[in-house]
């Protein structure tokens, strides 16, 4: 745990050593509120809830998360610092977890900075705070899943652009497979099992059920297993080809 | 003298290239081993296997009595490593970077600061402490790399080109530091270099490798003695060329 926290602290503070943190936070806050007000019809709905705000989060993460995750390992490979950290008395697991948690905490910070939206609806009406809390959790878990995927992909290359594009593509597929338009396309002719399966692996299915305010253990398990699976892959890849 | 580095029959293949082809090394406390060889001879690959960054296809490494594959963390604790090019996080300040290394090496709180302060004084980094690493000159960057390698006072040091990019004064200083760490602190040190005079100046032993194999393993003095008479100050160059360029080597044997 101590070793993970050493890596975590270095990684987390590294976001603020460059303009990356500021740019990410500004873009995230700007887009998240713009979508909520302009496309989601936050005011027009006349309801005191944050549905129009949260429903666009997975789509925002689609390109904002790869922007964070692309550098996680590709940068270490490019600058050669991987040789330094891999020969310190730290395990690969310490490094993978420290980096992942730092990135996840950073997206958590971005979410915390959106709480003025929450104060606003509380001021305007009487929202269901449980639902909002649950939505925040859903959003954070989605970001975490995308980050784990991005971290694993970043560990495969020393080229950050490659890591960005592959991660965005992987997350897009994961989003699409739960999207109702895609599901409807299959529903007409494919066996029910295929449609159910696609919907079960899709992020949106689980995200939307949590945003409705229901914490179903299956949804939480879905996100948790995505994160764990990709971090295990990440560790294996780094162990397998440290020098590549 | 205790053997601190024991490498047996290391082999590594990258695709069709046999980069390291059966290298065995045994380095005792107090020895400073100069690792020489033409570019691509397998120096860095061998050092990476000694530190456990690369896994050898065949062979074993023991550092200060700990088998690298059996207990990698404990073996790494006993070793300091300056990788090729002295990589470091460019956005960190020198002090933050060294504090990170100290904490990663398990030093807590004031002990970590004490270690960092000590090494800063030894390597003379005071004037760049607050600078970020990407603003440092090549020489200072190399010295930061050296500082992180010796911060925990390890019995084993593996240094890949520790004086590359230093000016003559800095070279002199770093060489004295290395000599001192070998002679009076009894560390086992392996350093690679392209500068043959450096081997004469700091090493107690010279190992030349070529095409992944050890071709010479003796003291710098006896290495010099191989040179034909009258080669003077370039004696080392003459010997190096003759053992690393295939034709001459075969002709000489």
Q: SS in 3 state form for B50-93?
A: HHCCCCCCEEEEEECCEECCCCHHHHHHCEEEECCCCCCCCCCE
Q: What's residue A52's pLDDT? A: 83
Which residues of chain B does A89 touch, with a Cβ-Cβ cutoff of 8 Å? 73-74, 76-77, 104-106
Which residues of chain B does A91 touch, with a Cβ-Cβ cutoff of 8 Å? 73
Average pLDDT over residues A18-38: 88
B234 pLDDT more than 80 = no
B117 pLDDT more than 50 = yes
Poorest-pLDDT segment among A38-42, B39-43, B46-50? A38-42
Which residues of chain A does B92 touch, with a Cβ-Cβ cutoff of 8 Å? 10, 14, 17
B243 pLDDT more than 90 = no
Average pLDDT over residues B180-193: 92
Q: How confident is the model over B59-108, as pLDDT tens digits? A: 999 999 999 999 999 999 999 999 999 999 999 999 999 999 999 999 99
Q: Which ipTM did the prediction report?
A: 0.89
**Distance from C-alpha of A129 to C-alpha of A217, rounded to nearest angstrom:** 20
Chain A residues contacting B via beta carbons under 8 Å = 2-3, 6-7, 9-10, 13-14, 17-18, 79-81, 83-91, 242-243
Give the minimum alpha-carbon distance from A241 to chain B in angstroms, rounded to a whole number: 9
**pLDDT tier at A197, thresholds 50, 70, 90:** confident
Q: What's residue A180's pLDDT? A: 74
Burial class (CB in 10 A: 0-12, 13-18, 19+), A36: buried
Which among B53, B90, B132 has CB closest to A87?
B53
Residue of A nearest to B103 (CA): A6
Note whether B92 contacts A17, CB cutoff 8 Å: yes
Q: What's residue A183's pLDDT? A: 76
Which residues of chain A does B12 touch, with a Cβ-Cβ cutoff of 8 Å? none
Which among B52, B88, B104 has CB closest to A81?
B88
A243 pLDDT more than 90 = no
**pLDDT tier at A192, thresholds 50, 70, 90:** confident
B252 pLDDT more than 70 = no
Residue A238 · residue A72 · CB < 8 Å = no
Q: What's residue A51's pLDDT? A: 82
**pLDDT tier at B233, thresholds 50, 70, 90:** low
Note whether A83 contacts B84, CB cutoff 8 Å: yes
**pLDDT tier at B253, thresholds 50, 70, 90:** very low
Burial class (CB in 10 A: 0-12, 13-18, 19+), B19: buried
Residue B215 · residue B23 · CB < 8 Å = no
Residue B159 · residue B82 · CB < 8 Å = yes
Note whether A80 contacts B87, CB cutoff 8 Å: yes
Average pLDDT over residues A8-30: 92
Give the minimum alpha-carbon distance from B248 to chain A in angstroms, rounded to a whole number: 34
Average pLDDT over residues A34-54: 78
Average pLDDT over residues A116-129: 86
A132 pLDDT more than 60 = yes
Interface test with B, best of A17, A80, A83 (most B CBs within 10 A): A83
In this predicted model, which residue has the larger pLDDT, B215 or B252? B215
Residue of B nearest to A243 (CA): B54
Residue of A nearest to B71 (CA): A89
Q: At what angle do helices A71-79 and A57-69 cross, to 10 degrees?
A: 10
Give the minimum alpha-carbon distance from A84 to chain B in angstroms, rounded to a whole number: 7
To the nearest whole number, what is the mean pLDDT of chain B?
A: 90
Q: Compute the half-sphere exposure of residue B156: CA atoms within 13 Å on the CB side of its CA.
A: 27
Q: What's residue B1's pLDDT? A: 66
Q: Compute the half-sphere exposure of residue B94: CA atoms within 13 Å on the CB side of its CA.
A: 25
Q: How confident is the model over A75-107, as pLDDT tens digits? A: 999 999 999 999 999 999 999 999 999 999 999
Note whether A83 contacts B90, CB cutoff 8 Å: no
In this predicted model, which residue has the larger pLDDT, A186 or B108? B108
Q: What's residue B246's pLDDT? A: 57
B20 pLDDT more than 90 = yes
Q: What's residue B107's pLDDT? A: 95
Cβ pairs A/B, distance under 8 A: 66
B250 pLDDT more than 50 = no
Which residues of chain B does A243 touch, with a Cβ-Cβ cutoff of 8 Å? 48, 53-54
Q: What's residue B62's pLDDT? A: 95
Q: What's residue A113's pLDDT? A: 93
Query: The pTM is what?
Result: 0.90
Which residues of chain B does A242 touch, with a Cβ-Cβ cutoff of 8 Å? 53-54
CA distances from A239 to A16, B51, B52 (A): 28, 15, 11
**Distance from C-alpha of A15 to C-alpha of A163, rounded to nearest angstrom:** 18
A36 DSSP assignment: I
CA distances from A168 to A60, A187, A233, B35, B246 (A): 11, 26, 18, 45, 51
Interface test with B, best of A10, A14, A18, A95 (most B CBs within 10 A): A10
């Amino acid at each position: 745990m101590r070793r993970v926290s050493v890596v975590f602290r270095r990684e987390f503070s590294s976001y603020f050593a460059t303009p990356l943190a500021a740019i990410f936070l500004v873009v995230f806050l700007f887009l998240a509120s713009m979508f909520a007000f302009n496309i989601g019809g936050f005011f027009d709905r006349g309801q005191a809830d944050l549905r129009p705000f949260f429903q666009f989060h997975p789509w925002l993460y689609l390109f904002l998360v790869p922007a964070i995750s692309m550098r996680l390992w590709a940068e270490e490979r490019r600058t050669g610092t991987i040789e330094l950290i891999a020969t310190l008395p730290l395990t690969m697991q310490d490094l993978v977890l420290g980096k992942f948690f730092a990135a996840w905490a950073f997206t958590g910070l971005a979410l915390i900075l959106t709480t003025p939206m929450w104060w606003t609806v509380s001021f305007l009406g009487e929202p269901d705070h449980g639902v909002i809390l649950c939505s925040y959790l859903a959003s954070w878990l989605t970001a975490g899943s995308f980050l784990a995927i991005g971290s694993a992909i970043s560990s495969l290359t020393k080229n950050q652009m490659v890591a960005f594009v592959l991660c965005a593509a992987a997350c897009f597929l994961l989003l699409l497979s739960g999207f109702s338009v895609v599901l409807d396309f299959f529903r007409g002719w494919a066996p029910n099992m295929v449609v159910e399966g696609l919907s079960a692996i899709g992020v949106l299915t689980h995200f939307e059920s949590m945003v409705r305010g229901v914490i179903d253990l299956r949804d939480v398990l879905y996100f948790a297993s995505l994160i764990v699976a990709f971090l295990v892959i990440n560790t294996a890849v780094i162990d397998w080809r440290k020098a590549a | 003298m205790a053997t601190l580095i024991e490498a047996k029959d290391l082999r590594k293949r990258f695709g069709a290239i046999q980069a390291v082809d059966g290298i065995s090394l045994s380095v005792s406390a107090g020895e400073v081993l100069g690792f020489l060889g033409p570019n691509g001879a397998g120096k860095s690959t061998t050092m990476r296997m000694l530190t456990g960054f690369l896994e050898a296809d065949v062979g074993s490494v023991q550092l200060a009595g700990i088998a690298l594959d059996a207990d990698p963390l404990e073996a790494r604790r006993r070793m300091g490593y300056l990788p090729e090019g002295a990589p470091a996080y460019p956005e960190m300040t020198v002090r933050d970077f060294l504090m990170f290394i100290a904490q990663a090496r398990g030093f807590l709180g004031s002990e970590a600061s004490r270690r960092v302060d000590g090494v800063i004084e030894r390597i003379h980094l005071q004037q760049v402490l607050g600078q970020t690493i990407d603003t440092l000159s090549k020489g200072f960057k190399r010295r930061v790399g050296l500082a992180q390698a010796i911060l925990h006072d390890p019995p084993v040091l593996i240094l890949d080109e520790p004086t590359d990019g230093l000016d003559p004064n800095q070279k002199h200083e770093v060489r004295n530091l290395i000599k001192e760490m070998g002679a009076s602190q009894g560390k086992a040190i392996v350093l690679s270099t392209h500068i043959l005079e450096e081997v004469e100046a700091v090493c107690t032993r010279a190992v030349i490798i070529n095409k992944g194999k050890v071709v010479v393993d003796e003291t710098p003095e006896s290495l010099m003695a191989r040179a034909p008479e009258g080669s003077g100050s370039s004696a080392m160059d003459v010997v190096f060329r003759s053992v690393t360029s295939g034709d001459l080597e075969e002709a000489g044997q």
